[in-house]
Amino acid sequence: MTVVVPDFHGKQALDAWLVGHDAGLLLQGPDPDSPHPLLNGVVVAQRPAAGTRVERWDVVTVWVEGGGDGSGVREPRHPLPMRLTATRWWTPEQ
């Protein structure tokens, strides 16, 4: 069974991986032995090209840029959460 390779160019890496999986393709980076998963960044190139017919579950190699280190977003949290003071004793009647 053959499938048509979608155009992954400009998609977020995770979105491209999901679209590829739904189409019956496996996406990988140019270095399949890389310890970094294909999750962050934007797809800037792919091989084979979009529109090519390949066998189902064939590999499509994608190149990704702008992925950062994947450690997550660190932004300041303002306003700061309220600090609740601990009470020594608490009873339901209070």
Q: pLDDT tens digits for 3-22? A: 999 999 999 999 999 999 99
Q: What is the mean pLDDT of residues 24-39?
A: 86
* Environment class of 79 (CB within 10 Å of its CB; exposed 0-12, middle 13-18, buried 19+): exposed
pTM over the 0.85 mark: no
Q: Which domains are present in the chain?
A: 2-65 (3.30.10.20)
pLDDT of residue 35: 75
Q: Tell me what pLDDT residue 40 has.
A: 85
For 28-42, give one letter per residue: b (16+ CB within 10 A) or e.
Answer: ebeeeeeeeebebbb
pLDDT digits (tens, 9 = 90+) for 32-86: 887 777 888 899 999 999 999 999 999 999 999 986 555 555 566 667 666 666 6
